[in-house]
């Protein structure tokens, strides 16, 4: 059984790369500021961590572990995350290992993080956070978070959120971007109001066909006013009653690293449609064309292409809903089990805008399949629990393959599906390895 823990205590980080640890832990950017001034959220985080103000923060050399922390490194984790895989530290991109996806609702401390830009500073007054609705509407609106919370019906829904590039690491040749394996997905319990209700108050014009979302995250270049990413959804998806303006996650105020105090959750579509740190929704009379909507980003070839093809931009179309997929959350890969003894294999399955209708597992490399028990979702877009009992017939090496089928009969492929320049939509079957003794 693998016990390679991705968990990183602060001490370990400092040992390996002091400057990077500084950045991860405290937001100090020593590469751009050699004196490594502690600023804003970074300073607050360090003060919280050492339990008080640091009078000479300005003089503290970067890369030096504060001595108050040195004895308790294991208490300090990245944005409160534990057990997470660091795909990138700047911008922060964190992946959840499959076994930590086991709970029905993914805990915040294990929930994946995808950022295209920087993390904005935490706002001192979340209730005053303001959202602008403009564009193809009769009455442009400016609503504070407090108004969203009081003027519109509050709903709480369990919905899965998945990065469009989840599974990218499986494509060959390697497409550009974070090399996600399987864990750029999670199932949150989101609290907010329906985007539909807000758009109706603004009064959609008949010319409204698409939304364009803007957030407060700074572009990596530091250029003021330049959006890191600005994607959107067709107006039908925006008006779908499960598309929410979210301020709560798993019963807590939406954490900063997940877009707090306000974000979109447009479940079943690539995660980038669910803008974090939301400040504006521009209702458009055409498909939105902000950064992340054009070129090769978050787009798929209109017609299938061979692996490695150079696809002209005009032959690319915006990605729609995510495909049917599942994950094995128990047992962990490389676990030892006993031959001739039944054990449970389980996980979750989800299917973009659809419901999962059937779930199968195989322990003979896909030759035969066992139907798993499948639970219904608590609401649309909730991922669905599945369980199967399996007995491996003899000692040896086995792989468990998992295959979900959606309510239109579409199932996960055994091999990586159509290659595309940026590596989106890999929904091939999740597999784990087991040793039977």
Partner 1 sequence: MRGRKLRTGLACACLGLMMAGGASGQTSDFGGLPAGPGQLETFGNCTACHSTMIITQQNFSRRTWDEVLTWMVEDQGMWEMPSETRQIVLDYLVTHFGPES
For partner 1, the binding residues (CB under 8 A) are: 2, 4, 6, 8, 12-13, 16-20, 23, 31-32, 63, 85-91, 95, 97-98, 167, 169-170, 172-174, 176, 178-179, 181-183, 219-223, 226, 291, 295, 308, 310, 333-334, 399, 428, 430-433
Q: What is the nearest approach in angstroms of partner 1 to the Cβ of residue 308? A: 8
Q: Is 313 in the site for ligand HEC (CB under 6 A)?
A: no
Tokens of 377: 């979702």
Phi, psi for 404 (deg, rounded to 5): -100, 150
- Binding residue for ligand HEC (CB under 6 A) from 172, 221, 379, 408? 221
Q: Is 377 in the site for ligand HEC (CB under 6 A)?
A: no
Q: Is 160 in the site for ligand HEC (CB under 6 A)?
A: no
Tokens of 337: 């089990």
Nearer CB in complex with ligand HEC: 194/231? 231
Q: How remote is the C-alpha of 219 from its chain's centroid?
A: 19
- Binding residue for ligand HEC (CB under 6 A) from 35, 176, 338, 389? 176
Task: Give the span between the Cα atoms of 305 and 315, in whole angstroms.
Answer: 10
Nearest to 256 by CA among 90, 147, 120: 120
Pattern 97-116, binding to ligand HEC, x per CB under 6 A?
-------------------x
Q: What is the nearest approach in angstroms of ligand HEC to the Cβ of residue 221? A: 4
Tokens of 104: 């029905």
Task: Give the span between the Cα atoms of 345 and 323, in whole angstroms.
Answer: 22
Q: What is the nearest approach in angstroms of partner 1 to the Cβ of residue 185? A: 12
Size of the site for ligand HEC (CB under 6 A): 6
Q: How remote is the C-alpha of 325 from its chain's centroid?
A: 15
Tokens of 100: 């930590």
Bridge-partner residues for 194, per DSSP? 244
* Contact (Cβ atoms closer than 8 angstroms) between residue 304 and residue 418: yes
Q: What is the nearest approach in angstroms of ligand HEC to the Cβ of residue 46? A: 26
116's contact among ligand HEC, partner 1, none, with CB below 5 to 8 A by partner kind, is: ligand HEC
Q: What is the nearest approach in angstroms of ligand HEC to the Cβ of residue 259? A: 15
Tokens of 24: 């991860």
Q: Is 174 in the site for ligand HEC (CB under 6 A)?
A: no
Counting Cβ atoms within 10 Å, is residue 141 exposed (0-12), middle (13-18) or buried (19+)? middle
């Amino acid at each position: 059984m693998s016990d390679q823990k991705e968990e990183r205590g602060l001490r370990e980080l400092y040992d390996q790369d002091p400057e990077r640890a500084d950045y991860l832990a405290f937001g100090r950017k020593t590469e751009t500021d050699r004196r490594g001034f502690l600023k804003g959220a970074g300073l607050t985080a360090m003060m919280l961590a050492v339990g008080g103000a640091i009078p000479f923060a300005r003089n503290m050399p970067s890369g030096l572990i504060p001595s108050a922390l040195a004895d308790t490194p294991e208490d300090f984790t990245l944005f409160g995350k534990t057990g997470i895989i660091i795909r990138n530290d700047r911008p922060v991109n964190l992946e959840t290992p499959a076994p930590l996806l086991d709970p029905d609702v993914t805990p915040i401390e294990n929930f994946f993080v995808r950022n295209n830009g920087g993390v904005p500073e935490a706002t001192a007054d979340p209730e005053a956070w303001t959202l602008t609705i403009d564009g193809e509407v009769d009455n442009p609106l400016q609503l504070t978070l407090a108004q969203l919370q009081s003027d519109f019906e509050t709903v709480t829904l369990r919905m899965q959120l998945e990065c469009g590039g989840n599974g990218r690491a499986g494509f060959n040749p390697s497409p550009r971007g974070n090399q996600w394996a399987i864990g750029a997905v999670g199932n949150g319990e989101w609290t907010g109001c329906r985007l539909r209700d807000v758009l109706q108050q603004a009064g959609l014009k008949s010319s409204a066909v698409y939304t364009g979302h803007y957030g407060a995250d700074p572009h990596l270049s530091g250029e003021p006013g330049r959006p890191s990413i600005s994607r959107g959804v067709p107006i039908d998806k925006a008006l779908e009653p499960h598309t929410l303006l979210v301020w709560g996650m798993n019963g807590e105020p939406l954490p900063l690293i997940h877009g707090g105090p306000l974000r979109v959750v447009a479940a079943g579509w690539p995660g980038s449609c669910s803008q974090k740190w939301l400040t504006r929704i521009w209702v458009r009379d055409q498909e939105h064309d902000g950064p992340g909507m054009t070129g090769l980003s978050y787009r798929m070839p209109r017609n299938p292409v061979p692996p490695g093809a150079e696809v002209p931009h005009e032959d690319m179309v915006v990605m729609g809903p995510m495909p049917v997929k599942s994950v094995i959350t128990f047992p962990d890969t490389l676990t030892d089990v006993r031959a001739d003894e039944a054990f449970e294999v389980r996980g979750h399955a989800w299917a973009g805008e659809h419901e999962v209708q059937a779930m199968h597992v195989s322990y003979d490399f896909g030759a035969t399949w066992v139907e798993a028990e499948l639970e219904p979702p608590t609401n649309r877009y909730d991922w669905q629990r599945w369980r199967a009992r399996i007995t491996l017939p003899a000692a040896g090496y086995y792989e468990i393959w998992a295959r979900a089928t959606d309510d239109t009969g579409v199932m996960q492929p055994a091999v990586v599906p159509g290659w595309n320049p940026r590596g989106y939509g890999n929904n091939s079957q999740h597999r784990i390895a087991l040793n039977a003794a």
